[in-house]
Amino acid sequence: MPAYKAPLRDIRFVMDDLLGFSEHYKQLDSVTEVDDEVQTAIIEEAAKFSENVISPLNAVGDQAGCVWSAEGVTTPPGYKQAYQQYCEGGWPALAMPESYGGQGLPESMNIVLTELISSSCPAWSGYPGLREGAIKTLLNHGSNELKERFLPNLVSGQWTGTMCLTESHCGSDLGQLKTKAIPVCGNEYRLTGTKIFISCGEHDMAENIVHIVLARLPDAPAGSAGISLFVVPKLLVNDDQSLGGKNNVSCGSIEHKMGIHGFVTCVMNFDGATGYLIGKPNKGLQAMFTFMNSARLTTALQGLVHAEVAYQGAVPYAQERLAMRSLSGAKNPDGPADPIIVHPDVRRMLLTIKSFAEGFRAFAYYVAQQLDLSEHAKTEASREQAKQLLALLTPVCKGFMTELGCEAAHHGVQIFGGHGYIREWGMEQNQRDSRISTLYEGTTGIQALDLIGRKVLGSKGALLTNFSNIIFEFCQSQQANQPMQEFTQPLHETTTQWLELATSIGQSAARDPEEIGAASVDFLMFSGYTILAYFWARMAQVSMDKLETGAEDRDLYFSKISTARFFFQRLLPRTATLKQTIQSGAASLMEITPEQF
Amino acid sequence: MPAYKAPLRDIRFVMDDLLGFSEHYKQLDSVTEVDDEVQTAIIEEAAKFSENVISPLNAVGDQAGCVWSAEGVTTPPGYKQAYQQYCEGGWPALAMPESYGGQGLPESMNIVLTELISSSCPAWSGYPGLREGAIKTLLNHGSNELKERFLPNLVSGQWTGTMCLTESHCGSDLGQLKTKAIPVCGNEYRLTGTKIFISCGEHDMAENIVHIVLARLPDAPAGSAGISLFVVPKLLVNDDQSLGGKNNVSCGSIEHKMGIHGFVTCVMNFDGATGYLIGKPNKGLQAMFTFMNSARLTTALQGLVHAEVAYQGAVPYAQERLAMRSLSGAKNPDGPADPIIVHPDVRRMLLTIKSFAEGFRAFAYYVAQQLDLSEHAKTEASREQAKQLLALLTPVCKGFMTELGCEAAHHGVQIFGGHGYIREWGMEQNQRDSRISTLYEGTTGIQALDLIGRKVLGSKGALLTNFSNIIFEFCQSQQANQPMQEFTQPLHETTTQWLELATSIGQSAARDPEEIGAASVDFLMFSGYTILAYFWARMAQVSMDKLETGAEDRDLYFSKISTARFFFQRLLPRTATLKQTIQSGAASLMEITPEQF
């Protein structure tokens, strides 16, 4: 298992050279000042913590897994201690509001922290991560009383949180859920029902767990219009925030999963559990959507994480493993064979992983900047522009990056040959861990319907035009830059096709609504490649500038340009297939009857 | 975990309607007569055995795995008993020569058996499977004395076999291997060295294990020209085939793998073990190649297996799971939601899996027919033609089918949403089990180099022309068949591109040999899609004929035509990307230096 090494140079490249984090932070209101010194302090400390404390838990947690008993769930050795250190270091509060004890840093700094922690041990990173959903739900929709009672300990990390949505018969389609909430008095309710797939539903890492639960009031309308939101603590909480007795919530069992074994997934039983209504009755589902963008971005990051882990594992192996001679003549003539990194097909896989990992970082950090701007930009117009970008980019970021994160993990195994299939190298764990990412927080199919249905067609193309104009402006700005033409010309062409495809899907959908679903995932992937091409073109341009102005780290900048070139020549052509399959329409999908399958 | 159901109707479609097995068997010399009755008896009995005896071992074996101790390896509960039943049923001897107790049936019947057994439990199927390599090595290269001593018990299945090739520092590049063989007297040697990744190297299913070992004689030349082949039994074998004492062979440990947990993978220590030379000194590697086609075909079948398992799991789930309403109006208005099989994107995944599983069966069974013909066709010309087809098709069959088998397994998980990630549904096991298939028996990269380097360019295009003429003749034969044009036109076009790409790779390679490796895997995949298009076009044509002549099973034939249409519209367009990436050449892969990664 390779030890994780925080890719600080690549991270700084995106923060400083590409996206200008320091300049970006000056555009924000009401956020703690985050100058270069603060950024450096945070990411270097986070890197050390990730490498030294979290990374060693990764293989151990996979092998030990979580253990259920009637008394509770025991997390893998070291998980709890690491979490205590994490809280002592103040990490849980990094991007939390100062009014509840947080440090008030922007989301984009939290994303860097999340990348580092999650790359070190995806399973462990879920515990502090899930808590953020509970905090945001309470922050955005809870009464002051609920906030006072629950937020300080959630913000400090002393308590963790969950989101209890799924039931055995419904996941994406939450309108079907059956858990009931019966009013007792005031804002107090008794909840009864069974939730499944509850991440971090029960564990030994924190003294209390705050569940956010979707349930139905007795008089609720059917379907998704009758869902309300409740906060249900594991241990009851007194008015002074001290802990009271045990609530009627229990973990019935835990799931045996393909991967992320250290990240517990629970069946949670609510047997007349005490809960408190959050927000308005029957408006629970809408409330959930308010922080969906940040939750999806966190999940999207896993695409980056699994590509980065594959890359960190595969590069040294490819540099050291000796097999065969280069077809163009021995590169290691004194050894028994050449290192496999000389072979073009090994390079093809390595460069695929590299262009994903580094491209995803640019994409995800950019989206994180839009999260910052959507809340803290100084003008309403800027906030609105960021919200529009977020609306369009978030489903692509989640669906596209996680699908290709799985592909990267697959290549990571492949580069190792048979050794990739064996536990000790960590590559098979990476592939198993990656597999969840296209499923939870909305499957790829759900992201794709959100993108083409709600965002692109729902805005009559406005959201798409908005972002494609940013791309066109960039291409325009490089018109006099001859070396950039190899990137901007295909980028311009692909972006034009992207708009045309959206229009043609809209036209087909007017005739047959099935055309939306038929085009959805391929359109999401087309969108992803287009957006990634934009970021790779920008990275190439920045790198050319740096080389021209005599910057240090020349290998880094050369490597960015080479990787951009690889992306444009070897990966962007995937849009050629996607264009054809989108244009082929729904007929070939819908012709066969359910019984003929 | 879904119980496996042998897809006999689909199998008969390929055997009878598409490939005419009965007619094919009449073209063979020196093979036991295999009329329709014999075929039916075999596949129906094999289906029952697979469903009732082998399939129940699949989930159990994954969870229990194999257990190592200094005394040996214990296979999962039920494995040994099932193997005894398998031997009692005479299955191990099905396609083995009658001179050593076999039943002398052709390879193509064995492939059907292998599909059924392997789909029921991929891990278990490896034990009888590995034995076949040992048998073929001895049959083709062993002295009569060695054959008499080892073959009867291997053929009956009383003993199993292994292939001991890999060492920790070398897998694909066997020229680097270090295991030594020192002559004792006559044909007897003492072998010393450590082999890794030895499938079935030690277990409790059979009374003896016959290892075929690659090693070096003391005076052997360096590299692959100095490798010899030995037979090394676990227990020594007396001249009368009775068992003698323990040989100096031991299993040092077993690997912890991503999947196929019931299929043991051993580190084997040879400490002055007694072995016997097979064939000529230093000619071991060439000898290994003599049965490589059949070994690769068996591994290729796993692509079919994992697609079939994904399909059998996902179809009933998609028919039963209720989520959301169809965009074109409720299809299950009395229920709380529609079954997900109504959604176009779920259908896209199901049809992808279906077109792989059924297309792979056609492809693999066709290759198996060529195996039959290469040995048993009545004329030298027919044998030679079959050998040429085999040479070209085998690496494609192995590389392409296993890559897409992994993709099918990925979709199988995806259709289940979060449930796909959980052990109980069997889909995550299928994905873990599938992952080995692109690695062993030559990685995809190795298959791809064999295809483009040795087979296509090495024959100066002759092998490719040979098969593409078969495709063109088929297209020609359908020229007057209007409904077939939607298939034959793109098939003709793609095949033409295939030939052009091969030519252009040859031209580029003359300038820069790295172009071969740079194009290799993409060319293999392009070849696979072209070949699959050929089989899907033929399946469509056969089905149209059947419908026209009023055959029963109309749903089956309609479904074949719909699936062919889906393949041509949704999967064949992947060649558009591959064409571009092949044409992009080696430059973007080779520019970056090893240190810049």
For residue B316, give its domain range: 291-442
Taking the Cβ of residue B440 and every Cβ of chain A, the question of whether any pair is shorter than 8 Å is answered with yes
Report the C-alpha gap between B58 and B63 in whole angstroms: 9
**Token duo for residue A285:** 């589902």
Cβ distance B110 to B295 under 8 Å?
no
Burial class (CB in 10 A: 0-12, 13-18, 19+), A30: exposed
Question: In 3D, which of A107, A544, A151, A8 has the Cα closest to residue A365?
Answer: A107
Give the per-residue SS3 of A291-341: CHHHHHHHHHHHHHHHHHHHHHHHHHHHHHCECCCCCCCCCCCCCCCCEHH
| B chain contacts of residue A445, beta-carbon cutoff 8 Å | 343, 345-346, 414
Are B472 and B502 part of one and the same domain? yes
Helix or strand run (H / E) with residue A86: helix A79-88
Q: What CA–CA distance (Å, rounded) separates B230 from B226? A: 13
B174 has a chain A CB within 8 A of its CB: no
Per-residue tokens: B92: 């191990």
The last residue of a domain, from among B442, B473, B499:
B442
Residues B399 and B347 occupy one common structural domain: yes
Quick one: CA dihedral A50, A55, A56, A58, positive or negative?
A: positive
- B595 found inside a domain: no
> Above 80 in pLDDT, residue B290?
no
3-state secondary structure of B99: helix
Q: Does A320 touch chain B (CB under 8 A)?
A: no
Domain membership of residue B513 (yes or no) is: yes
If you average pLDDT over residues A68-89, what whole number do you get? 97
Name the band, by pLDDT with cuts 50, 70 and 90, for residue B292: confident
Tokens describing residue B339: 């079954």
Domain-ending residue, one of B241, B259, B289: B289
Mean pLDDT score of chain B:
96
- Mark whether B121 and B260 lie in a shared domain: yes
Residue A413 in any domain: the answer is no
Q: What is the pLDDT of residue B465?
A: 97
**Non-local CB neighbours of B413 within 8 Å, separated by 6+ positions:** A258, A435, A439, B420, B421, B427, B428, B430, B431
Say which residue, B533 or B292, is predicted with more confidence.
Answer: B533
Q: What is the mean pLDDT of residues B412-431?
A: 97
Q: Is the separation of the CB atoms in A290 and A322 below 8 Å?
A: no
Whether B428 contacts A258, CB under 8 Å? yes
Confidence grade of residue A31 (pLDDT, cut at 50, 70, 90): low
Q: Which residue in chain A is spatially nearest to B319 when comparing CA positions?
A: A594
Question: What is the model's pLDDT at position A290?
Answer: 75
* Domain co-membership, B231 together with B318: no
**Structural domain includes residue A108:** yes
Residues B74, B168 within the same domain:
yes
Q: How far is CA B438 from the centre of its chain?
A: 10
pLDDT at B3 over 90: no
User: Sign (positive/negative) of CA torsion B321, B326, B331, B337?
Assistant: positive
Please name every residue paired with B199 in a beta bridge, in sequence order, or none if there are none.
B265
Whether B441 is catalytic: yes
A and B: number of Cβ contacts within 8 A: 277
Determine phi and psi for B415, rounding to 5 degrees. -60, -30
Q: Which residues of A are tagged catalytic?
A: 441
For residue A252 the two structure tokens come to 């019935």
B273-283, pLDDT tens digit by residue?
999 999 999 99
Question: CB-hemisphere CA count at 13 Å for B282?
Answer: 8
Q: Is B417 on the interface with A (CB under 8 A)?
A: yes
**Are the C-beta atoms of residues B208 and B199 closer than 8 Å to each other?**
no
Distance CA B308, CA B313 (A): 9
**Measured distance CA(B100)–CA(B35) in Å, rounded:** 23
**Do the chains contact at B443 and A414, CB–CB below 8 Å?**
yes
- Nearest-by-Cβ selection for A421 from B172, B258, B587: B258
Q: Judged by CB atoms within 8 Å, which residues 529-568 of B form the interface with A? A: 555, 558-559, 562-563, 565-566
B156 and B300 share one domain: no
Mutation test of the interface with chain B: which of A421, A505, A554, choosing the one with the most B Cβ atoms within 10 A?
A: A421
**pLDDT at residue B389, as a whole number:** 98
Chain A environment of B175 (Cβ under 8 Å): 337
Does residue A349 lie within any of the structural domains?
no
- CB neighbour list of residue B20: distance below 8 Å, 6 or more residues apart: none
Q: Are residues B295 and B281 in the same domain?
A: no
Structure token digits, residue A354: 């590299």
Q: Based on the domain organization, do B131 and B188 belong to the same domain? A: yes
Q: Give the active site residue among B132, B358, B428, B441.
A: B441
Q: Is residue A233 part of a domain?
A: yes
- Look at phi and psi of residue B474 and say left if phi exceeds 0, alpha if psi is from -120 to 50, else beta: alpha
What is the pLDDT at residue B31?
63
Share of chain A above pLDDT 90, in %: 96
∠ at Cα B97 (B96, B101), nearest 5°?
85
For A502-517, write each residue's pLDDT tens digit. Answer: 999 999 999 999 999 9
- Closest partner residue to B315 among A197, A428, A597, by Cβ? A597
Average pLDDT, chain A: 96
Rounded CA Rg of chain B: 24
Is B580's Cβ below 8 Å from some Cβ in A? yes
Contact A597 B559 (CB under 8 A): yes
Residues of chain B neighbouring A435 (CB-CB closer than 8 A):
410, 413, 421, 428, 431
Q: Is the Cβ pair B431, A520 closer than 8 Å?
A: no
Residue A49 placed within a domain: yes
Strand B180-185 relative to strand B188-199: parallel, antiparallel, unpaired? Answer: antiparallel
CATH number reported for the structural domain that contains residue B255 in this entry: 2.40.110.20
- Residues B140-157: pLDDT tens digits? 999 999 999 999 999 999
pLDDT at residue B242 is higher than 70: yes
Query: Is residue B258 within 8 angstroms of chain A, CB to CB?
Result: yes
Cβ of A173 and B435 within 8 Å? no
DSSP state of A71: T
Are B178 and B325 in the same domain? no
Whole-number Å distance between alpha carbons of A431 and A335: 32
Q: In this complex, do B345 and A521 lie within 8 Å of one another by their Cβ atoms?
A: yes
Residue A345 and residue B520 in contact, taking contact as beta carbons nearer than 8 Å: yes
DSSP alpha helix (H) spans, B190-291: 284-289
Q: How confident is the model at residue B114 (pLDDT cuts 50, 70, 90)?
A: very high
Report pLDDT for A132: 93
Give the chain A residue nearest B586 (alpha carbons).
Answer: A344
Say yes or no: A476 contacts chain B, CB-CB below 8 A. Answer: no
Whether the CB of B60 is below 8 Å from some CB of chain A: the reply is no
Residues 6+ apart with CB under 8 A from A529: A400, A494, A571, A572, A574, A575, A578
Query: Do B82 and B211 belong to one domain?
Result: yes
Whether A565 and A502 have beta carbons less than 8 Å apart is answered as no
| Least confident range of B165-174, B179-188, B465-474 | B165-174
* pLDDT score for A1: 61
Closest partner residue to B562 (CB to CB) among A258, A569, A592 is A592
Name the burial class of residue B553, with classes exposed (0-12), middle (13-18) and buried (19+) by CB atoms within 10 angstroms of its CB. middle
Candidates B522, B575, B265; CA nearest to B399 is B522
Same domain, B185 and B242: yes
Give the chain B residue nearest A198 (alpha carbons): B418
CA B3/CA A160 separation, integer angstroms: 40
Of A271, A289, A307, which residue constitutes the final position of a domain? A289
> What average pLDDT does range B32-47 have in this prediction?
93
The predicted complex's ipTM stands at 0.97
- Taking the CA of residue B329 and the nearest CA in chain A, the distance in Å comes to 9
Of A132, A163, A122, A131, nearest in space to A261 by CA: A122
pLDDT in tens, A231-278: 999 999 998 889 999 999 999 999 999 999 999 999 999 999 999 999
Q: Assign 3-class secondary structure to A16-58.
A: HHHCCHHHHHHCECCCCCCCHHHHHHHHHHHHHHHHHHHCCHH
Mean pLDDT value across residues A144-163: 97
Number of domains observed in the structure of chain B: 3
Residue tagged 């329709």 (tokens): B36
| Inter-chain residue contact A514 with B422, CB threshold 8 Å | no
Which residue, B147, B114, B431, is CA-closest to B296?
B114
Interface of A with B in 62-101 (CB under 8 A): none
Cβ pair B24, B365 in contact under 8 A: no
Percentage of chain A with pLDDT > 70?
Answer: 99
Q: Which of A128, A109, A116 minimizes the C-alpha distance to A48?
A: A116
Report the Cα A61 to chain-centroid distance in Å. Answer: 21
CB contact under 8 A, B172 and A581: no
pLDDT-based confidence at residue B1 (cuts at 50, 70, 90): low
Chain-chain contact of B348 with A424 (C-beta, under 8 angstroms): no
Is B328 in contact with A512 (Cβ distance < 8 A)? yes
Q: Is residue A533 part of a domain?
A: yes
Distance, C-alpha B353 to centroid of its chain: 17
Q: DSSP string of B515-563?
A: HHHHHHHHHHHHHHHHHHHHHHHHHHHHHHHHHHTT-S-HHHHHHHHHH
- Both B517 and B560 in one domain: the answer is yes
Closest chain A C-alpha to B37 CA, distance in angstroms: 28
